[in-house]
């Protein structure tokens, strides 16, 4: 088992999967509330993020999370995924639908989707800054791109720290996660897909398309949000998550 993680609370298992901009600390604002709502909350760092080491061989983030859940003897869980974490959650829910009880996506990426013009332009600019050893410039580009207008300076500094650590770790990594082509129509879990009106078009389009792939899925766009709404307006997103969980997966 290759991932650093923490667990708190009792009840139905709820797994928090972070954005590739951040690490598991991005869920700090929601952790206590989800635990107190009656769930066993698991959060982990993907390889090369937070306290998880970089990979020394080919790997899959989704497979790593399944290994963690098997290690914890959790047969069934709900998944909350932000951005890349949402992409991992979709892969998990499509490949082992019987093990996923609910699915919440925050500005999610989508397995196998080709980048649109806005996301491709960001990626090219970021890669150029990193290639020029301008780590500070790449970090600031990420903060500017991914946080919406409600992301205050404290949140921006938190994202700076997480993104800087991730960039530094990835510079040492020899392998990147390999995703799997999946059939999203196999997902059976109740699903809520959130998007932010200030986010890049790629992620707004993905969230709007989720109901076309996942039977019964709901899409909600947050007019105030950028790409990381759980950090930008923590209490509002916590309320949305706990309300959805309460409807679909009542605590016991």
Tokens of 140: 């600031």
3-state helix, strand, coil in the chain (%, to 5): 50, 15, 35
Continuous segment of H or E residues that includes residue 88: helix 84-95
CATH number at residue 168: 3.40.50.1820
pLDDT digits (tens, 9 = 90+) for 64-79: 999 999 999 999 999 9
Longest dimension (CA), the chain: 53
Tokens of 81: 């995924």
- Alpha-carbon distance 116 to 3, whole Å? 31
Residue 24 CB neighbours (<10 A)? 25
- Alpha-carbon distance 108 to 214, whole Å? 14
What residues make up the domain containing 185?
A: 5-248
Domain count, the chain: 1
Mean pLDDT per 10-residue run, the chain (252 residues)?
Answer: 92 97 98 96 97 92 96 97 98 97 97 94 97 97 97 96 95 80 93 98 97 95 98 97 90 60
Kind of pairing between the strands at 39-44 and 12-17: parallel
Q: What is the pLDDT of residue 171?
A: 87
Is the pTM above the cut of 0.75?
yes
Q: Which of 116, 83, 115, 81 is nearest to 187 (CA)?
A: 81
Q: What is the pLDDT of residue 93?
A: 97
Contacts of 250 (CB under 8 A, 6+ apart): none
């Amino acid at each position: 088992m290759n991932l650093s993680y923490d667990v708190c609370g009792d009840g139905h298992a709820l797994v928090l999967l972070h954005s590739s901009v951040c690490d598991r600390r991005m869920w700090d604002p929601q952790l206590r509330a989800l635990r107190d709502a009656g769930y066993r909350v698991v959060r982990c760092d993907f390889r090369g993020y937070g306290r998880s080491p970089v990979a020394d061989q080919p790997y899959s983030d989704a497979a790593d999370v399944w290994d963690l859940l098997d290690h914890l003897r959790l047969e069934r869980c709900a998944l909350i995924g932000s951005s890349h974490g949402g992409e991992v959650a979709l892969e998990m829910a499509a490949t082992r639908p019987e093990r996923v009880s609910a699915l919440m996506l925050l500005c999610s990426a989508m397995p196998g989707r080709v980048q649109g013009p806005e996301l491709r332009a960001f990626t090219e600019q970021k890669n150029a800054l990193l290639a020029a050893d301008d780590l500070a410039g790449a970090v600031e580009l990420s903060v500017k791109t991914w946080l919406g207008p409600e992301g205050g300076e404290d949140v921006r500094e938190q994202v700076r720290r997480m993104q800087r650590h991730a960039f530094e770790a990835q510079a040492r990594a020899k392998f990147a996660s390999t995703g799997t082509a999946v059939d999203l129509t196999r997902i059976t879990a109740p699903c809520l897909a959130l998007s932010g009106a200030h986010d890049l078009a790629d992620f707004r389009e993905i969230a709007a398309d989720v109901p076309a792939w996942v039977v019964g899925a709901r899409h909600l766009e947050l007019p105030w949000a950028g790409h990381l709404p759980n950090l930008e307006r923590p209490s509002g997103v916590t309320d949305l998550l706990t309300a959805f969980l309460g409807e679909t997966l009542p605590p016991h």
